[in-house]
Amino acid sequence: MDLVDSLRRHRLLAIVRGKDPVAALRTVRTLVEEGIAAVEISLTTTDALTVIRQARAALGPDALLGAGTVRSAADAGRALDAGASYLVTPAVVDGLAPYGVPVLMGALTPTEIEAALARGADAVKLFPGSLGGPGYLRALRDPFPEVPFVPVGGVDATAAHDYLARGAVAVGVGSPLVGDAADGGDLDQLRARAAEFRAVAAGDTP
């Protein structure tokens, strides 16, 4: 799988984390049904590996299903065994390259960005994006024009539009999109939020 190509095409990565594994799985399936192709299940989700395994079985081998909050090579191994096809980290993490799967590695500062690239990151998760906002991403584009950035953290619909306009290949969206759905919340509201973010990813003004 070419992670960067997928992110460029879809421009949106949904981040699911919650306390109810049944609701988390239902949330993943609903997001995909609503046209959000790339979904990350955070390992902080209750019984996350089971959720990943069941989501993979439900969605099939080609689904863009990743594991998030990967903080070690051991985390990566467990997530991949469960069926994740790419890894997302909150920070610079060693030991992931040998697994041979795409990695969206977390970084914030220029030094961290260089460290992530040196460890084979396919794209850089700009985290927490809320610290600098879209203006910070614009400043990073000058020294790092070739780096695929995916801002994550506090990305609502307006911020998503601004990040994409400033050169992000995609945005990662957690609670502004998922809300309380992964804890058992209303799926109709989730569908409405999914439609809003999908429109932003398509280039419509929020």
pLDDT, one tens digit per residue, over 188-201 is: 999 999 999 999 99
What residue ranges define each of the domains in the chain, with the CATH number in brackets?
3-201 (3.20.20.70)
Q: What pLDDT, on a 0 to 100 scale, did the predictor assign at position 204?
A: 74
Whose tokens are 């460290």? That residue is 115
125: annotated active-site residue = yes
pLDDT, one tens digit per residue, over 137-186 is: 999 999 999 999 999 999 999 999 999 999 999 999 999 999 999 999 99
Q: What pLDDT, on a 0 to 100 scale, did the predictor assign at position 205?
A: 65
Q: What pLDDT, on a 0 to 100 scale, did the predictor assign at position 157?
A: 96
Distances (CA, A) of 118 to 71, 92, 97, 109: 17, 10, 10, 14
Integer Cα distance of 148 and 10 in angstroms: 14
The pair of structure tokens assigned to 65 is 């299903």
Q: Is 135 exposed, middle or buried (0-12, 13-18, 19+ CB in 10 A)?
A: exposed
Q: What pLDDT, on a 0 to 100 scale, did the predictor assign at position 196?
A: 97
Point out the catalytic residue in the list 19, 33, 34, 40: 40
Q: Is 204 exposed, middle or buried (0-12, 13-18, 19+ CB in 10 A)?
A: exposed
Integer Cα distance of 155 and 121 in angstroms: 22
The sheet carrying 171-173 orders its strands as 149-151, 123-126, 103-107, 86-88, 64-68, 38-42, 12-16, 171-173
Q: Where does the pLDDT of residue 70 fall: very low under 50, low under 70, confident under 90, or very high at 90 and above?
A: very high
Q: What pLDDT, on a 0 to 100 scale, did the predictor assign at position 104?
A: 98
User: Is 206's pLDDT higher than 70?
Assistant: no
Q: How many percent of the chain have pLDDT more than 70?
A: 99
Average pLDDT over residues 9-36: 97
Q: What pLDDT, on a 0 to 100 scale, did the predictor assign at position 117?
A: 98
Point out the catalytic residue in the list 34, 125, 146, 196: 125
pLDDT, one tens digit per residue, over 34-68 is: 999 999 999 999 999 999 999 999 999 999 999 99
40: annotated active-site residue = yes
Q: What pLDDT, on a 0 to 100 scale, did the predictor assign at position 1?
A: 72
Task: Round the average pLDDT of the chain to a whole number and report it.
Answer: 97
